[in-house]
Structure formats: structure tokens, C-alpha cells
Amino acid sequence: MKTNAHVLAVMTCSLLTAPLAIADDAAPVKSASVDLNGDGKPEAVSIQFDAPKNEFVLKAGGATLRGPGDDNEPAGVFIVDLDSRDSRKELVVRTGQTDYDQRSFIYGFDGKALKLLGTVPALTEARGNGIILSDSWQGFWNRRDKYVLDAKTGKVSEVPQDLYAVGVEATVKQSFPLARSRTDKKVVATLAQGSTIQVLAASPSSRKGEGYLYLVKSSTGLLGWATAKDLMEKTGGLPLAG
């Protein structure tokens, strides 16, 4: 089924402007009282910004921790429940001002100290099942990464993907070839000018500075790999935004 380009553009803009969807759309707070370690006693939680040092100051109970501010004051701290099977809650501090520099720092509290559990580009979704979904904009598509919270170690780690889903359409303005594989440059198809292609998936290139290689489906149903340079310079209609 073909996707209307206008719809894709609207979806893209919605993605860029949508609020952070974590813990059932919880909002960041400057201060709160919450039981973080599951002992039945709430801890006083607060966050401040030390502008001269460009650091945020996070407090929970009697513990204090400083983190990098990335040149902007965090809106607050998110209180999330990454795994509803335990009795703990986690704290998330989001820094950065764009999709390219944003980071979400995830902290746990053991009753004595705040500990960094992990860092993700953006904590887009966490619904209490130990899984974190993280979105980051890549120019004309959204990269979605998966992270999991290890119940034993208490650490957040990435689940590697060989390919990232893209799912956009474009029109060929200037003919260019598709390679047989990511490592074999032999031509499997040459895209005809004026034809419509589907960019199905992306894979980080092993070549420095090349960004991604893209798995493309031609109008004749053939699959091959294209460079980001060819897609950006020789096609039209990509849902560019940001």
C-alpha cells in the first residue's frame, strides 16, 4: 500500500513536536516525594540547575548527584517505573535541545546513593515492562532503539539491531544504481528517472562519515542498497523536517 507524501510529512512534524511519552505521559517535576527504593518510606526528590558549572543537581533522600547540563536547564526530573514487577521507581533527567544532542540519564536510588543505570538518546516510551524505546530523528526518518533494564544488575543496556526500519517513499530525479549488498558494490538494479522507490531500512555504514546505507525497493520489485548521498541528491519527496 502506498503512503501519501503529505501524510508522511504531517507524521514527521508530529514526531518532532510530540511530548515525551514516558510512564503514561508523566510530566517532569522540580520536586516531589516518592518511594524510590521500595522500603515504604518516600524520599524527597528535587532538581536544580547550576548555571556557572553547567550542571544539574539531582537530590533524593540524603543523596546528591551532579550531571552535565549540556548548556540548558532541564525542565525537571521524570519519575518513572521501568519495571512494575519490582517495587522501585527510577528518575530520568533529559538534557539537550535538539533531536541530535538530547540525552536521557536514568538513575536509581538504593536507599543511600543515586546511581546511574544508563543513558539513552531519548526516553520515548517506558511502560513498566523493563523495556525502553528511544527515538532519534535522522533527517528524513525516525531511528527507534530498544533498551532493557536488567533486573539482576540494575543496568540499562541496548538491544542491538542489524537494521533500522525506515518506511518512506521517494521519486527518482536522477537515475542511480542499487548495490547488491552492503559490502558488494556490484549493481543489482539501476533506478529509472521518474520512478517511485521505497526506502525500507537503514544500516550504519562501516565507512567513516558515510552515515547510513539504505535498503531500497525499486518500482520493479528489486532490492538493493543506496547511499545517503544518492538518496538526498537524486530523489525527491523524502519527508525532510527539522
What is d(CA 208, CA 153) in angstroms, rounded to the nearest whole number? 34
Quick one: pLDDT at residue 99? 74
Q: Kindly tell me if the per-residue pLDDT of 2 is higher than 70.
A: no
User: How does residue 209 score in pLDDT terms, banded at 50, 70 and 90?
Assistant: low
Residue 178 CB-density burial (10 A; 0-12 exposed, 13-18 middle, 19+ buried): buried
* Domains, in order of start, for the chain: 18-159 (no CATH), 164-236 (2.30.30.40)
Q: What is the pLDDT of residues 99-152, one digit of tens each?
A: 778 899 999 999 999 999 999 999 999 999 999 999 999 999 999 999 999 988
Q: What is the pLDDT of residues 164-174, one digit of tens each?
A: 999 999 999 99
DSSP state of 210: -
* Residue 90 Cα distances to 27, 93, 114, 116, 121, angstroms: 14, 10, 10, 10, 17
Quick one: pLDDT at residue 36? 97
Contact status, residue 26 vs residue 15, Cβ threshold 8 Å: no
Task: Tell me the three state secondary structure of residue 232.
Answer: helix
Q: Tally helices (H) and strands (E) across the chain.
A: 2, 19
Contact status, residue 76 vs residue 59, Cβ threshold 8 Å: no
* Grid cell at residue 55: 550542571
